[in-house]
Structures are given as structure tokens and as C-alpha cells.
Amino acid sequence: KISKWGNGYGIRVPIDTLQAYQLTEGSEVILSRESNGVKISPHTPSLSDLSLKDIMKGVVPEMLASDKAESFFGSPHGNEVW
């Protein structure tokens, strides 16, 4: 059932459906038109959709400290020199 919520409209989704797709309040979804109806899909932003600020949210100063930087970025690969 579609309901009016403030200035917009909303669709109620059963909790078991939300849990099955790991969706919570505020999760972004994509609504697309299909030949036999409407499809609602979780929106998983690609790296190009995110700002540098969003990408760096999980980075804390301790990760960038010189003695821990190597473990944060991993071991050298190929011809990399550290």
C-alpha cells in the first residue's frame, strides 16, 4: 500500500524483507520500471559515487602513523618499493 508521508509518499516494507537485504531506515534504494511491474533494489554506491570525505570516514589518524602505515596499505606488490 502506498501512503502519503508529509510531502511525499512511502511504501511499507516488512521487517523480514528489510533484514534479508540488510536494509535499515535511511537505506537508499533504486526504483526501476520492469515489463511486469516495479522493482526495488538496494542502492550500492560505486566508488565514483562517493566523495573523498565519504571514502575517508573510516580512516583514523592511527592508521596513517608511519609505524603502522605499511600494515594499513599492505605489503609491496610487484615492483613497488617501500
**pLDDT tens, position by position, 32-61:** 999 999 999 998 878 787 888 887 887 877
Closest CA to 42 of 10, 59, 20: 20
What is the dihedral angle through the alpha carbons of 11, 26, 34, 20, rounded to the nearest 10 degrees?
Answer: -90
Return the minimum-mean-pLDDT range out of 5-9, 13-17, 62-66.
62-66
Cα–Cα distance for residue pair 41/22, rounded to 1 Å: 11
User: Domains, the chain, ranges and CATH?
Assistant: 2-73 (2.10.260.10)
pTM (2 d.p.) = 0.47
What share of the chain has pLDDT > 90, as a percent? 43
